[in-house]
Chain A
Amino acid sequence: MANRINMRDRYKHMTRLGWETSYQPMEKVFPYDRYEGIKVNDWNEWEDPFRMTMDSYWKYQGEKEKKLYAIMDAFSQSNGHLNISDARYVNALKLFLQGVSPLEYQAHRGFARQGRHFTGEGARVACQMQSLDELRHVQTQVHGMSQYNKFFDGFHEFPWWHDRVWYLSVPKSFFDDANSAGPFEFMVAIGFSFEYVLTNLLFVPFMSGAAYNGDMSTVTFGFSAQSDEARHMTLGLQAMQFMLEQHEDNVPIVQRWIDKWLWRGYKVLSLVSAMMDYMLPESPMSWKEAWEMYFEENGGALFNDLARYGITVPSYAEICAKEKDHLSHQVWGILYNHTAAAAMHTWVPDDAKMNWLSEKYPDTFDKYYRPRFEYWRDQEEAGNRYYSQTLPLVCQTCQIPMGFTEIEDPTLVAYRTTEYSGDKYHFCSDPCMKIFTDEPEKFCQAWMPPQQIFQGNCGGEGLPAVLEHYKFNLGADNMDYAGSPDETNWNKWKGLDGAGDGQVKAS
Chain B
Amino acid sequence: MSKVFLALQDVDEARPIVEAIRKDNPNAEFDHQPAMIRITADQELIIKRETVSNEIGADWDPQDIQLTLISFGGHVDEDDDYFRIFWQD
A contacting B, Cβ–Cβ less than 8 Å: yes
Q: Report which of A56, A67, A298, A305 forms a contact with B88, defined as CB distance below 8 A.
A: A305
- Of A136-144, A182-190, A207-215, the stretch lying at the interface with chain B is A207-215
Q: Which of the four size classes fits the interface of chain B? A: 20 to 34
- The yes or no answer to A301 lying at the interface (CB within 8 A) is yes
Tell whether A297 is near chain B: CB-to-CB under 8 Å: yes
CA distance A285 to B80 in the complex (A): 37
Q: Are B72 and A6 in contact (CB under 8 A)?
A: no
Contacts of A200 in B (CB 8 A): 71, 73
Partner of B75, one of A6, A7, A49: A49
Measured in the bound complex, the distance between the Cα atoms of B88 and A301 in whole Å is 10
For B75, the chain A residues whose CB sits under 8 A away are: 49, 237, 305
Residues of A within 8 A of B70 (CB): 203-204, 207, 223, 226-227, 229-230
With A60-B66, A231-B66: A219-B78 Cβ-Cβ less than 8 Å: no
Whole-angstrom distance between the Cβ of A199 and the nearest chain B Cβ: 8
B36 touches A63 (CB 8 A): no
Distance in angstroms between the alpha carbons of A230 and B5 in the assembled complex:
12
Once the chains bind, are A212 and B34 in contact (CB under 8 Å)? yes
Q: Which of B55-70 contact A (CB under 8 A)?
A: 63-64, 66-70
Would A223 and B5 count as touching, CB distance under 8 A?
Answer: no
Shortest C-beta distance, B86 to chain A (Å), equals: 9
**Per-position 1/0 for B72-89, Cβ under 8 A of A:** 111111111000000111
Asked if A234 lies at the interface with its beta carbon under 8 angstroms from chain B, I say yes
B34 touches A211 (CB 8 A): yes
Contact A284 B33 (CB under 8 A): yes
Q: Which residues of A contact B72 (CB under 8 A)?
A: 230, 233
Contacts of B67 in A (CB 8 A): 60, 63-64, 67, 227
A227, B66: Cβ atoms closer than 8 Å:
yes
Contact of A51 with B by CB under 8 A: yes
Across the two chains, which residue of chain A brings its CB closest to B68?
A: A227
Chain B residues within 8 Å of A230, by CB: 66, 69-72
User: Closest B-chain residue to A230, C-beta based?
Assistant: B69
The answer, yes or no, to whether B4 is at the interface (CB within 8 Å) is: yes
Against B, the Cβ 8 Å flags (1 = close, 0 = not) of A277-305 are 00000001100000000000110111011
CB closest residue in chain A, given B34: A211
A307 within 8 A of B: yes
Scan B1-13; emit 1 where CB is below 8 A from any A CB, else 0: 0111101010000
B80 contacts across to A, CB distance below 8 A = 6-7
Contact indicator B35/A226 (Cβ below 8 Å): no
Given contacts A49-B78, A200-B71, contact A305 B2 (CB under 8 A): yes
Distance (Å) between the CB of A498 and the closest chain B CB? Answer: 29
Assembled-state Cα–Cα distance A49/B89 (Å): 18
Given A7-B79, A51-B78, A234-B76, A204 and B7 contact (CB-CB distance below 8 Å)? yes
Across-interface contacts of A8 in B (CB, < 8 A): 79
How many angstroms between the C-alpha atoms of A428 and B33 in the bound complex?
35
Q: How far is the CB of A165 from chain B (nearest CB, A)?
A: 30
In the complex, what residue of chain B is closest to A196 when comparing beta carbons? B73
Contact of A229 with B71 at beta-carbon distance under 8 Å, contacts A297-B3, A305-B2, A305-B89 already known: yes
* Shortest Cβ distance from residue B49 to the other chain A in the assembled complex, whole angstroms: 11
Nearest chain B CB to A279 CB, angstrom units: 16
Minimum CB–CB distance from A402 to chain B (whole Å) comes to: 33
Selected contact of A227 from candidates B69, B77, B87, CB within 8 Å:
B69
Nearest B residue to A213, CB-CB: B34
| Complex Cα–Cα for A64 and B64 (A) | 11
CA A8 to CA B78, docked complex, whole Å: 9
Are B89 and A308 in contact, CB atoms less than 8 angstroms apart? yes
A301: which of B3, B68, B76, B79 is its contact (CB, 8 Å)? B3
Within 8 A of B (CB), among A301-336: 301-302, 304-305, 307-308
What's the minimum C-beta distance from A369 to chain B, rounded to whole angstroms? 26
- Footprint of B on A, CB under 8 Å? 6-8, 49-52, 56, 60, 63-64, 67, 199-200, 203-204, 207-212, 219, 223, 226-227, 229-231, 233-234, 237, 284-285, 297-298, 300-302, 304-305, 307-308
Can you show 23 pairs from A to B with CB atoms below 8 A apart? A6-B79, A8-B79, A50-B76, A52-B63, A60-B66, A63-B67, A67-B67, A199-B71, A203-B70, A204-B7, A208-B34, A211-B34, A226-B70, A230-B72, A231-B66, A284-B33, A300-B2, A301-B2, A301-B4, A301-B74, A304-B89, A305-B88, A308-B89
